[in-house]
Structure 1
């Protein structure tokens, strides 16, 4: 049983109630209350709200004409959302449907990726010296093994394939701006100075379903839900035959 936190008349507030309240106010707001004093403030606010409820019931505010009107509007709004959920809520998509959406929309889901290597050092001057050595004929992989402070030095600086959003901003912008086999000027990031070599640009056409599976599945489900909704609306239009009298509100 959940721990009792507060009691107002017959109303009990438990630890589970507090957790639910925090979840409902959203993560950004909740972050402000992640302390002992913050939790106490939340419990106090929950008590305050229950006091308002008790007072509202005592003064029969639930019988006010304005309240009943708002209540009816709220019920209708909730019922609309609930009806929509009933139409789309139990839909699932098959693997074949996911593959079909991917094949028909490859350009939409495709993501540019690159294969790059780098050499990481502590100063711009050192990076410029190393770049000059490479331009004069030193092998990039050998230079990485000799000078780089990144663990990738053991692989000759190779970072493998990556897409946008996987590296720090400055590194990403510099790497994606390079042409194949081109070596960058020293690029400063929070880790130091990088000399980047672009090994290969992978075209969007090379993107595989497994790389974007969750996005494709979400889109396939959205399309299926949309189709179910439109079919239901079409059915209801035939049944109720609604009439739009005038939809020009600005004439």
Structure 2
């Protein structure tokens, strides 16, 4: 049930306040703008003020970063509109659920809800340090000690409604096996090698231009380093040696697939035919001169077995998706059976 919680909180309340979280001839006042109705759920109106209250901590961040007139900045308008739309839909969904709790068979124990709210507030007060700091924080997010209680109650009731909606959702062993078989490529690690290399890049001047003789010097260093590597010195030790520490760069690339490795062609052509722990010839690429060693080679694709650990992972993912689908389907069904109207053009 916890897996769906993060999704549901966003889908319901827009923000969990205790998480750490133009053609008008007469210009409207800020107060009037805040009273603009953006949605109706039955007889309940959701205003721009309601949406902006849920977004207050984020809007304050914009104000601090871009100034008081951040709303007028062209580069932010679309972003702000999309954010308000997302939170408006969240508030609408929450109101739809709250209005249908009895129809969904959800029984609410007011004393239990109050106890949970008190526990949350007490816990947060302990974290934040004092009652005064708690009051300051509430003010910063647009609440006081009374309104935060009501908000938390709504969120707790909403979560109980969600729990009711998804309580019958389950994932069978057959679901897990079908998902595994349908997505085997996801659980397949392609043939490849654990690749390390030592790079000698030609010197460049302050403007990024090649220094005369730099390419030849890098090649000579690479040849000398390869000779020592063939004699048994590791690439890592060579990179820290007095002779090469200022002219080389050592990297452990981890497991790299032979197919679609993402490496430049010269490098890929060299490492994918290199036996384990054999030192390559010096390989020239656009970056300089490389010495490559595959510390381990995986000659075949490896399919991760459907063991208990992977079964658990797949089951958790499928359960979360099924719960989300059940939630969205039920909310849409409820919306279809009641008067819900969004005025997105007023965002």
Normalization by structure 1: what TM-score? 0.42
1 or 2 for the larger relative contact order (CA 8 Å, sep ≥6)?
A: 2
Higher helix share: 1
